[in-house]
Structure 1
Amino acid sequence: MAITTTSSALLRLLQLSSVSLPVGGFSFSQGLESAIEQGWIRNSKQTAEWLRWQLTESVARIDLPVLFGAMSAMSEGHEDGWRNWNDRSLANRETAELRLTETAMGEALQRLLKTLDIPHPDPQGEVSFVALFAVAAQHWSLSPALTAQGFVWSWLENQVAAATKLVPLGQSQAQLLLGELQPDVAIAITQAETLDEFSMGGALPALSLASCWHETQYSRLFRS
Protein backbone atom coordinates (compact mmCIF):
# COMPACT_ATOMS: atom_id res chain seq x y z
CA MET A 1 0.00 0.00 0.00
CA ALA A 2 1.73 3.16 -1.18
CA ILE A 3 1.93 6.13 1.16
CA THR A 4 1.17 9.45 -0.47
CA THR A 5 0.37 12.78 1.13
CA THR A 6 -0.12 16.47 0.61
CA SER A 7 0.70 19.32 2.96
CA SER A 8 -2.92 19.63 4.11
CA ALA A 9 -3.26 15.86 4.62
CA LEU A 10 -0.04 15.75 6.60
CA LEU A 11 -1.25 18.54 8.88
CA ARG A 12 -4.54 16.72 9.48
CA LEU A 13 -2.64 13.52 10.24
CA LEU A 14 -0.45 15.35 12.73
CA GLN A 15 -3.57 16.81 14.36
CA LEU A 16 -5.25 13.41 14.58
CA SER A 17 -2.21 11.55 15.92
CA SER A 18 -0.94 14.29 18.24
CA VAL A 19 -0.48 13.47 21.93
CA SER A 20 -2.41 16.70 22.59
CA LEU A 21 -5.56 15.27 20.99
CA PRO A 22 -8.01 15.38 23.93
CA VAL A 23 -8.84 11.67 24.09
CA GLY A 24 -6.86 10.72 27.19
CA GLY A 25 -4.38 8.36 25.57
CA PHE A 26 -1.79 9.35 28.16
CA SER A 27 -4.01 7.89 30.91
CA PHE A 28 -3.65 4.26 29.82
CA SER A 29 -0.59 2.03 30.17
CA GLN A 30 -2.35 -1.00 28.60
CA GLY A 31 -0.82 -3.48 31.00
CA LEU A 32 2.62 -1.89 31.07
CA GLU A 33 2.31 -0.59 34.62
CA SER A 34 1.41 -4.02 35.93
CA ALA A 35 4.19 -5.71 33.93
CA ILE A 36 6.69 -3.38 35.58
CA GLU A 37 5.16 -4.05 39.00
CA GLN A 38 5.62 -7.80 38.36
CA GLY A 39 9.29 -7.26 37.56
CA TRP A 40 8.96 -8.34 33.93
CA ILE A 41 10.29 -5.01 32.69
CA ARG A 42 13.24 -3.30 34.36
CA ASN A 43 15.12 -1.51 31.60
CA SER A 44 14.96 -0.06 28.11
CA LYS A 45 15.75 -3.37 26.39
CA GLN A 46 12.90 -5.19 28.12
CA THR A 47 10.58 -2.26 27.39
CA ALA A 48 11.44 -2.49 23.70
CA GLU A 49 10.73 -6.22 23.67
CA TRP A 50 7.36 -5.75 25.41
CA LEU A 51 6.26 -3.01 23.01
CA ARG A 52 7.53 -4.88 19.94
CA TRP A 53 5.46 -7.95 20.82
CA GLN A 54 2.41 -5.82 21.52
CA LEU A 55 2.88 -3.95 18.24
CA THR A 56 3.21 -7.04 16.06
CA GLU A 57 0.78 -9.37 17.85
CA SER A 58 -1.93 -6.95 18.97
CA VAL A 59 -1.86 -3.58 17.20
CA ALA A 60 -0.99 -5.12 13.82
CA ARG A 61 -3.48 -7.96 14.19
CA ILE A 62 -6.44 -6.11 15.76
CA ASP A 63 -6.26 -2.32 15.62
CA LEU A 64 -4.88 -1.88 12.12
CA PRO A 65 -7.23 -4.36 10.38
CA VAL A 66 -10.12 -2.55 12.10
CA LEU A 67 -8.70 0.78 10.97
CA PHE A 68 -8.42 -0.35 7.35
CA GLY A 69 -11.83 -2.04 7.36
CA ALA A 70 -13.62 0.87 8.99
CA MET A 71 -12.05 3.35 6.57
CA SER A 72 -13.12 1.19 3.63
CA ALA A 73 -16.67 0.98 4.95
CA MET A 74 -16.85 4.75 5.42
CA SER A 75 -15.48 5.39 1.93
CA GLU A 76 -18.37 3.31 0.57
CA GLY A 77 -20.95 4.98 2.80
CA HIS A 78 -21.61 1.61 4.44
CA GLU A 79 -22.53 2.49 8.03
CA ASP A 80 -23.54 -1.07 8.95
CA GLY A 81 -20.14 -2.21 7.73
CA TRP A 82 -18.52 0.41 9.95
CA ARG A 83 -20.56 -0.84 12.93
CA ASN A 84 -19.36 -4.36 12.21
CA TRP A 85 -15.75 -3.23 12.46
CA ASN A 86 -16.56 -1.20 15.59
CA ASP A 87 -18.02 -4.31 17.24
CA ARG A 88 -15.10 -6.47 16.12
CA SER A 89 -12.68 -4.03 17.69
CA LEU A 90 -14.46 -4.22 21.04
CA ALA A 91 -14.91 -8.00 20.90
CA ASN A 92 -11.16 -8.48 20.53
CA ARG A 93 -10.32 -6.72 23.81
CA GLU A 94 -9.47 -9.59 26.15
CA THR A 95 -9.91 -7.83 29.49
CA ALA A 96 -12.22 -5.25 31.03
CA GLU A 97 -9.32 -2.82 31.33
CA LEU A 98 -8.26 -3.13 27.69
CA ARG A 99 -11.88 -2.63 26.67
CA LEU A 100 -12.08 0.40 28.97
CA THR A 101 -9.07 1.89 27.18
CA GLU A 102 -10.83 1.48 23.85
CA THR A 103 -14.24 2.76 24.91
CA ALA A 104 -13.10 5.64 27.12
CA MET A 105 -10.89 7.00 24.36
CA GLY A 106 -13.67 6.29 21.87
CA GLU A 107 -16.18 8.32 23.86
CA ALA A 108 -13.70 11.19 24.14
CA LEU A 109 -13.04 11.13 20.39
CA GLN A 110 -16.78 10.99 19.72
CA ARG A 111 -17.25 14.21 21.70
CA LEU A 112 -14.38 15.80 19.79
CA LEU A 113 -15.83 14.82 16.40
CA LYS A 114 -19.11 16.48 17.38
CA THR A 115 -17.21 19.64 18.34
CA LEU A 116 -15.39 19.60 14.98
CA ASP A 117 -18.68 18.96 13.10
CA ILE A 118 -17.38 15.69 11.66
CA PRO A 119 -20.34 13.40 10.92
CA HIS A 120 -20.05 9.86 12.18
CA PRO A 121 -22.34 6.82 12.36
CA ASP A 122 -24.26 5.98 15.51
CA PRO A 123 -22.44 2.94 16.97
CA GLN A 124 -25.69 1.81 18.64
CA GLY A 125 -23.76 0.89 21.74
CA GLU A 126 -20.20 1.32 22.96
CA VAL A 127 -17.81 2.95 20.55
CA SER A 128 -14.28 1.92 19.60
CA PHE A 129 -11.53 4.53 19.45
CA VAL A 130 -9.84 3.02 16.40
CA ALA A 131 -13.16 2.81 14.52
CA LEU A 132 -13.78 6.53 15.12
CA PHE A 133 -10.17 7.32 14.27
CA ALA A 134 -10.98 5.81 10.87
CA VAL A 135 -14.02 8.09 10.52
CA ALA A 136 -11.94 11.22 11.10
CA ALA A 137 -9.22 10.03 8.73
CA GLN A 138 -11.71 9.26 5.99
CA HIS A 139 -13.44 12.62 6.51
CA TRP A 140 -10.11 14.36 5.97
CA SER A 141 -9.32 12.19 2.91
CA LEU A 142 -6.23 10.60 4.42
CA SER A 143 -4.91 7.43 2.79
CA PRO A 144 -5.21 4.21 4.83
CA ALA A 145 -1.45 3.64 4.91
CA LEU A 146 -0.74 7.19 6.05
CA THR A 147 -3.48 6.94 8.67
CA ALA A 148 -1.98 3.69 9.93
CA GLN A 149 1.41 5.35 10.39
CA GLY A 150 -0.17 8.14 12.41
CA PHE A 151 -2.23 5.76 14.52
CA VAL A 152 0.68 3.46 15.36
CA TRP A 153 2.99 6.37 16.09
CA SER A 154 0.43 7.87 18.48
CA TRP A 155 0.07 4.53 20.27
CA LEU A 156 3.83 4.03 20.47
CA GLU A 157 4.52 7.54 21.72
CA ASN A 158 1.96 7.16 24.52
CA GLN A 159 3.41 3.80 25.55
CA VAL A 160 6.97 5.11 25.62
CA ALA A 161 5.80 8.13 27.61
CA ALA A 162 4.25 5.73 30.14
CA ALA A 163 7.49 3.72 30.28
CA THR A 164 9.46 6.92 30.82
CA LYS A 165 7.54 7.46 34.07
CA LEU A 166 7.27 3.85 35.18
CA VAL A 167 10.51 1.96 34.38
CA PRO A 168 11.75 4.72 34.63
CA LEU A 169 13.56 5.80 31.48
CA GLY A 170 15.48 9.01 30.90
CA GLN A 171 14.30 11.34 28.15
CA SER A 172 17.25 10.42 25.96
CA GLN A 173 16.59 6.70 26.49
CA ALA A 174 12.98 7.28 25.47
CA GLN A 175 14.05 8.93 22.23
CA LEU A 176 16.46 6.10 21.49
CA LEU A 177 13.64 3.63 22.12
CA LEU A 178 11.32 5.43 19.72
CA GLY A 179 14.04 5.32 17.07
CA GLU A 180 14.73 1.64 17.69
CA LEU A 181 11.06 0.71 17.25
CA GLN A 182 10.39 2.79 14.14
CA PRO A 183 11.23 -0.07 11.72
CA ASP A 184 8.68 -2.23 13.53
CA VAL A 185 5.96 0.29 12.67
CA ALA A 186 6.40 -0.40 8.97
CA ILE A 187 6.50 -4.16 9.63
CA ALA A 188 3.24 -3.98 11.58
CA ILE A 189 1.47 -2.02 8.84
CA THR A 190 2.65 -4.44 6.15
CA GLN A 191 1.45 -7.37 8.27
CA ALA A 192 -1.95 -5.75 8.85
CA GLU A 193 -2.50 -5.24 5.12
CA THR A 194 -2.63 -9.04 4.68
CA LEU A 195 -5.47 -9.50 7.20
CA ASP A 196 -9.23 -9.21 6.89
CA GLU A 197 -12.23 -9.68 9.19
CA PHE A 198 -11.80 -13.47 9.08
CA SER A 199 -8.04 -13.61 9.74
CA MET A 200 -7.61 -10.74 12.22
CA GLY A 201 -7.21 -11.36 15.93
CA GLY A 202 -4.38 -11.56 18.40
CA ALA A 203 -3.54 -13.28 21.67
CA LEU A 204 -0.94 -12.11 24.15
CA PRO A 205 -1.45 -14.06 27.41
CA ALA A 206 1.12 -12.01 29.34
CA LEU A 207 -0.56 -8.78 28.29
CA SER A 208 -3.96 -10.12 29.33
CA LEU A 209 -2.63 -11.21 32.72
CA ALA A 210 -0.89 -7.88 33.29
CA SER A 211 -4.08 -6.05 32.35
CA CYS A 212 -6.18 -8.18 34.74
CA TRP A 213 -3.77 -7.69 37.61
CA HIS A 214 -3.66 -3.97 37.01
CA GLU A 215 -7.37 -3.72 37.80
CA THR A 216 -6.63 -4.45 41.47
CA GLN A 217 -3.06 -3.13 41.66
CA TYR A 218 -2.68 -1.38 45.00
CA SER A 219 -0.79 1.68 43.81
CA ARG A 220 -0.98 2.85 40.20
CA LEU A 221 -0.64 5.95 38.07
CA PHE A 222 -2.67 4.87 35.03
CA ARG A 223 -6.35 4.00 34.51
CA SER A 224 -5.56 0.71 32.78
Structure 2
Amino acid sequence: MADIADAALLRVLQLASPALPIGGYAYSQGLEYAIEQDWVTDLDSAAGWLTALASRSLGRLDIPLLLRQYAALEQQDETGFAAWNDWLLASRETAELYLEDSQQGGALLRLMKSLLIPAAQDWPTGEPLALISAFAMAGQHWRTGPSALALGVLWSWLENQTGAATKLIPLGQTDAQRLLDRLLPALPPIVELAAGLADDELGAGLPGLAFASARHEHQYTRLFRS
Protein backbone atom coordinates (compact mmCIF):
# COMPACT_ATOMS: atom_id res chain seq x y z
CA MET A 1 0.00 0.00 0.00
CA ALA A 2 2.89 2.36 0.76
CA ASP A 3 4.31 1.76 -2.72
CA ILE A 4 0.93 2.59 -4.30
CA ALA A 5 0.60 5.79 -2.26
CA ASP A 6 4.16 6.82 -3.12
CA ALA A 7 3.54 6.22 -6.83
CA ALA A 8 0.36 8.32 -6.68
CA LEU A 9 2.19 11.14 -4.91
CA LEU A 10 4.92 11.14 -7.54
CA ARG A 11 2.30 11.41 -10.29
CA VAL A 12 0.68 14.39 -8.53
CA LEU A 13 4.11 16.02 -8.33
CA GLN A 14 4.63 15.33 -12.02
CA LEU A 15 1.35 17.04 -12.92
CA ALA A 16 2.01 19.98 -10.57
CA SER A 17 5.57 20.52 -11.77
CA PRO A 18 6.44 23.77 -13.60
CA ALA A 19 8.33 21.48 -15.99
CA LEU A 20 5.02 20.12 -17.29
CA PRO A 21 5.04 21.38 -20.90
CA ILE A 22 1.68 23.16 -20.98
CA GLY A 23 2.84 26.78 -20.67
CA GLY A 24 1.23 27.68 -17.35
CA TYR A 25 4.06 30.11 -16.60
CA ALA A 26 2.99 32.25 -19.58
CA TYR A 27 -0.35 33.39 -18.11
CA SER A 28 -1.18 35.85 -15.33
CA GLN A 29 -5.00 35.47 -15.13
CA GLY A 30 -5.57 39.21 -14.91
CA LEU A 31 -2.85 39.77 -12.33
CA GLU A 32 -0.69 41.77 -14.73
CA TYR A 33 -3.48 44.30 -15.30
CA ALA A 34 -4.33 44.38 -11.58
CA ILE A 35 -0.72 45.31 -10.81
CA GLU A 36 -0.63 47.96 -13.53
CA GLN A 37 -3.74 49.55 -11.98
CA ASP A 38 -2.25 49.40 -8.46
CA TRP A 39 -4.96 47.05 -7.23
CA VAL A 40 -2.08 44.74 -6.26
CA THR A 41 1.05 46.50 -5.05
CA ASP A 42 2.75 44.40 -2.38
CA LEU A 43 2.77 41.12 -0.49
CA ASP A 44 -0.44 41.82 1.43
CA SER A 45 -2.51 42.89 -1.58
CA ALA A 46 -1.15 39.97 -3.63
CA ALA A 47 -2.23 37.60 -0.87
CA GLY A 48 -5.71 39.15 -0.87
CA TRP A 49 -6.06 38.90 -4.66
CA LEU A 50 -4.89 35.29 -4.82
CA THR A 51 -6.94 34.21 -1.80
CA ALA A 52 -10.09 35.54 -3.47
CA LEU A 53 -9.31 33.76 -6.73
CA ALA A 54 -8.48 30.49 -5.00
CA SER A 55 -11.52 30.40 -2.72
CA ARG A 56 -14.19 32.03 -4.86
CA SER A 57 -13.15 30.94 -8.34
CA LEU A 58 -11.11 27.74 -8.25
CA GLY A 59 -12.83 26.50 -5.11
CA ARG A 60 -16.32 26.97 -6.52
CA LEU A 61 -15.75 26.14 -10.17
CA ASP A 62 -12.53 24.42 -11.20
CA ILE A 63 -11.97 22.12 -8.24
CA PRO A 64 -15.61 20.92 -7.94
CA LEU A 65 -15.52 20.18 -11.67
CA LEU A 66 -12.23 18.30 -11.30
CA LEU A 67 -13.75 16.08 -8.61
CA ARG A 68 -16.85 15.42 -10.75
CA GLN A 69 -14.83 14.60 -13.83
CA TYR A 70 -12.52 12.27 -11.92
CA ALA A 71 -15.63 10.46 -10.67
CA ALA A 72 -17.14 10.36 -14.16
CA LEU A 73 -14.02 8.69 -15.51
CA GLU A 74 -14.04 6.19 -12.63
CA GLN A 75 -17.63 5.34 -13.58
CA GLN A 76 -16.82 5.25 -17.32
CA ASP A 77 -19.37 8.02 -17.81
CA GLU A 78 -17.99 9.58 -21.00
CA THR A 79 -21.13 11.62 -21.61
CA GLY A 80 -21.02 13.16 -18.14
CA PHE A 81 -17.32 13.91 -18.47
CA ALA A 82 -17.82 15.69 -21.80
CA ALA A 83 -20.80 17.65 -20.47
CA TRP A 84 -18.81 18.97 -17.50
CA ASN A 85 -15.96 19.86 -19.84
CA ASP A 86 -18.30 21.92 -22.01
CA TRP A 87 -19.86 23.53 -18.93
CA LEU A 88 -16.46 24.56 -17.61
CA LEU A 89 -15.32 26.11 -20.88
CA ALA A 90 -18.62 27.97 -21.20
CA SER A 91 -18.02 29.46 -17.74
CA ARG A 92 -14.90 31.35 -18.89
CA GLU A 93 -15.88 35.01 -18.93
CA THR A 94 -13.38 36.41 -21.42
CA ALA A 95 -11.71 35.29 -24.62
CA GLU A 96 -8.36 35.38 -22.82
CA LEU A 97 -9.50 33.06 -20.01
CA TYR A 98 -11.10 30.68 -22.54
CA LEU A 99 -7.94 30.53 -24.64
CA GLU A 100 -5.74 30.07 -21.58
CA ASP A 101 -7.87 27.14 -20.48
CA SER A 102 -8.29 25.45 -23.86
CA GLN A 103 -4.69 25.98 -24.99
CA GLN A 104 -3.22 24.48 -21.83
CA GLY A 105 -5.78 21.69 -21.90
CA GLY A 106 -4.84 20.95 -25.50
CA ALA A 107 -1.15 20.90 -24.62
CA LEU A 108 -1.71 18.43 -21.78
CA LEU A 109 -3.94 16.34 -24.07
CA ARG A 110 -1.13 16.06 -26.62
CA LEU A 111 1.27 15.03 -23.88
CA MET A 112 -1.14 12.36 -22.63
CA LYS A 113 -1.60 11.01 -26.14
CA SER A 114 2.16 10.67 -26.45
CA LEU A 115 2.09 8.72 -23.16
CA LEU A 116 -0.65 6.44 -24.59
CA ILE A 117 -3.26 7.36 -21.97
CA PRO A 118 -6.49 5.75 -23.29
CA ALA A 119 -8.96 8.52 -22.39
CA ALA A 120 -6.75 11.05 -24.17
CA GLN A 121 -6.42 8.87 -27.25
CA ASP A 122 -10.20 8.47 -27.38
CA TRP A 123 -10.94 12.21 -27.05
CA PRO A 124 -12.55 13.51 -30.29
CA THR A 125 -10.10 15.25 -32.59
CA GLY A 126 -10.62 19.00 -32.65
CA GLU A 127 -12.87 19.04 -29.57
CA PRO A 128 -11.60 21.60 -27.01
CA LEU A 129 -10.50 20.15 -23.69
CA ALA A 130 -10.35 22.29 -20.56
CA LEU A 131 -7.20 22.09 -18.49
CA ILE A 132 -9.10 20.77 -15.48
CA SER A 133 -10.58 18.03 -17.68
CA ALA A 134 -7.10 17.07 -18.84
CA PHE A 135 -5.84 16.96 -15.24
CA ALA A 136 -8.76 14.68 -14.37
CA MET A 137 -7.86 12.35 -17.26
CA ALA A 138 -4.23 12.09 -16.21
CA GLY A 139 -4.96 11.80 -12.50
CA GLN A 140 -7.60 9.11 -12.89
CA HIS A 141 -5.36 7.12 -15.23
CA TRP A 142 -2.51 7.25 -12.71
CA ARG A 143 -4.80 6.64 -9.72
CA THR A 144 -3.72 9.72 -7.83
CA GLY A 145 -6.99 9.99 -5.93
CA PRO A 146 -9.22 13.04 -6.44
CA SER A 147 -8.27 14.99 -3.31
CA ALA A 148 -4.52 14.67 -3.85
CA LEU A 149 -4.97 15.64 -7.48
CA ALA A 150 -7.02 18.69 -6.49
CA LEU A 151 -4.30 19.83 -4.08
CA GLY A 152 -1.72 19.39 -6.81
CA VAL A 153 -3.75 21.49 -9.23
CA LEU A 154 -4.17 24.24 -6.64
CA TRP A 155 -0.46 24.19 -5.85
CA SER A 156 0.44 24.41 -9.55
CA TRP A 157 -1.87 27.42 -9.98
CA LEU A 158 -0.52 29.13 -6.86
CA GLU A 159 3.09 28.58 -7.87
CA ASN A 160 2.46 30.10 -11.31
CA GLN A 161 0.64 33.09 -9.85
CA THR A 162 3.37 33.65 -7.27
CA GLY A 163 5.93 33.55 -10.06
CA ALA A 164 3.96 36.19 -11.95
CA ALA A 165 3.71 38.39 -8.85
CA THR A 166 7.45 38.00 -8.25
CA LYS A 167 8.19 39.40 -11.72
CA LEU A 168 5.50 42.06 -11.89
CA ILE A 169 5.16 43.77 -8.48
CA PRO A 170 8.07 42.86 -8.11
CA LEU A 171 8.50 40.68 -5.04
CA GLY A 172 11.81 39.43 -3.77
CA GLN A 173 12.38 35.70 -3.47
CA THR A 174 11.91 35.81 0.30
CA ASP A 175 8.59 37.66 -0.01
CA ALA A 176 7.50 35.12 -2.63
CA GLN A 177 8.06 32.37 -0.09
CA ARG A 178 6.17 34.39 2.53
CA LEU A 179 3.28 34.63 0.08
CA LEU A 180 3.27 30.87 -0.42
CA ASP A 181 3.55 30.32 3.32
CA ARG A 182 0.50 32.51 3.88
CA LEU A 183 -1.69 30.85 1.25
CA LEU A 184 -0.74 27.17 1.49
CA PRO A 185 -2.80 26.44 4.65
CA ALA A 186 -5.95 27.58 2.80
CA LEU A 187 -5.65 24.95 0.05
CA PRO A 188 -6.94 21.83 1.90
CA PRO A 189 -10.09 23.67 3.14
CA ILE A 190 -10.77 24.78 -0.45
CA VAL A 191 -10.75 21.15 -1.59
CA GLU A 192 -13.00 20.20 1.33
CA LEU A 193 -15.44 22.98 0.44
CA ALA A 194 -15.43 22.00 -3.23
CA ALA A 195 -16.22 18.39 -2.37
CA GLY A 196 -19.36 19.43 -0.49
CA LEU A 197 -20.91 21.66 -3.16
CA ALA A 198 -24.10 20.57 -4.93
CA ASP A 199 -24.43 20.99 -8.68
CA ASP A 200 -26.62 24.06 -8.32
CA GLU A 201 -24.00 25.73 -6.11
CA LEU A 202 -21.27 25.64 -8.74
CA GLY A 203 -19.98 28.75 -10.47
CA ALA A 204 -17.67 31.69 -9.98
CA GLY A 205 -18.57 35.35 -10.27
CA LEU A 206 -15.58 37.64 -9.82
CA PRO A 207 -16.23 40.83 -11.81
CA GLY A 208 -12.77 42.18 -11.00
CA LEU A 209 -11.10 39.13 -12.54
CA ALA A 210 -13.26 39.32 -15.67
CA PHE A 211 -12.58 43.05 -16.03
CA ALA A 212 -8.82 42.64 -15.50
CA SER A 213 -8.66 39.79 -18.00
CA ALA A 214 -10.64 41.70 -20.63
CA ARG A 215 -8.47 44.80 -20.22
CA HIS A 216 -5.29 42.73 -20.23
CA GLU A 217 -6.13 41.68 -23.79
CA HIS A 218 -5.53 45.32 -24.81
CA GLN A 219 -2.85 46.29 -22.32
CA TYR A 220 -0.17 48.32 -24.10
CA THR A 221 2.82 46.45 -22.68
CA ARG A 222 2.66 43.04 -21.05
CA LEU A 223 4.91 40.15 -20.14
CA PHE A 224 2.21 37.51 -20.10
CA ARG A 225 0.14 35.99 -22.87
CA SER A 226 -3.22 37.35 -23.90
Q: Pick the TM interval, shorter chain.
A: over 0.9
Query: Share of identical aligned residues, percent?
Result: 47
Which segments of 5 or more consecutive residues in structure 1 lack a partner in the other structure?
A: none
Aligned to 2:199, the other structure's residue is in SS state: coil
Matches of 1:95 and 1:122 in 2, distance apart?
A: 25
Question: Which position in structure 1 is the counterpart of 2:160?
Answer: 158
Match of 2:187 among 185, 188, 202: 185
Measure the CA separation in 1 of the matches of 2:16 and 2:172: 23
Give how far 1:190 is off: 1.3
Q: Per-residue CA shift, 1:15-57, capped at 9, x if unaligned?
A: 0111110000001100000101111111010000000000001
Comparing both structures, which one devotes a greater share of its residues to helix?
Answer: 2
Structure 1 residue 6: Cα displacement = 1.1
Distance in 1, matches of 2:118 and 2:27, equals 27
Amino acid in structure 2 at the alignment position of 1:95:
T
Distance across 2 between alignment mates of 1:199 and 1:45 = 30
Q: In structure 2, how many angstroms separate the alpha carbons of the residues matched to 1:132 and 1:80? A: 15
Instruction: State the match for 2:34 in structure 1.
Output: 35
1:14 corresponds to which residue? 13
Greater than 4 Å deviation, 4+ residue runs: none
Structure 1 counterpart of 2:110 = 111
Counterparts of residues 73-92 of structure 1 (less than 5 Å): 73-92=72-91
Which of 190, 204, 210 is equivalent to 1:208? Answer: 210
CA distance in 1, matches of 2:221, 2:198: 39
Whole-Å separation in 2 of the counterparts to 1:64 and 1:214: 25
Q: TM-score, normalised by structure 1?
A: 0.95
The size of the alignment, in residue pairs, is 220
- Once the two structures are TM-superposed, the CA of residue 197 in structure 1 deviates from its matched residue by 2.9
- Alpha-carbon distance between aligned partners in 2 of 1:25 and 1:103, rounded to the nearest angstrom: 12
Tell me the equivalent position of 2:175.
173
Determine the C-alpha separation between the residues in 1 that align with 2:10 and 2:127: 31
Structure-2 separation of matches of 1:65 and 1:49: 22
Structure 2 residue aligned with 1:71:
70
For normalisation by structure 2, the TM-score amounts to: 0.95
Stretches of structure 2 lacking an aligned partner (at least 5 in a row):
none
* Cα shift at 1:200: 0.6
Alignment of 1:217 with 2:219, yes or no, is yes
> How big is the alpha-carbon RMSD for the aligned residues of Structure 1 and Structure 2?
1.1
**What secondary structure sits across from 2:201 in the alignment?**
coil
C-alpha offsets along residues 91-140 of structure 1, whole Å, 9 cap, x if unaligned? 11111111111001011001100111112242562110101100100000
Describe the SS at the equivalent of 1:23: coil
- The aligned residue for residue 101 of structure 2 is 102
**How much has 1:75 moved relative to structure 2?**
0.3
Contact 1:30 1:98 (C-alpha < 8 Å) held by counterparts: yes
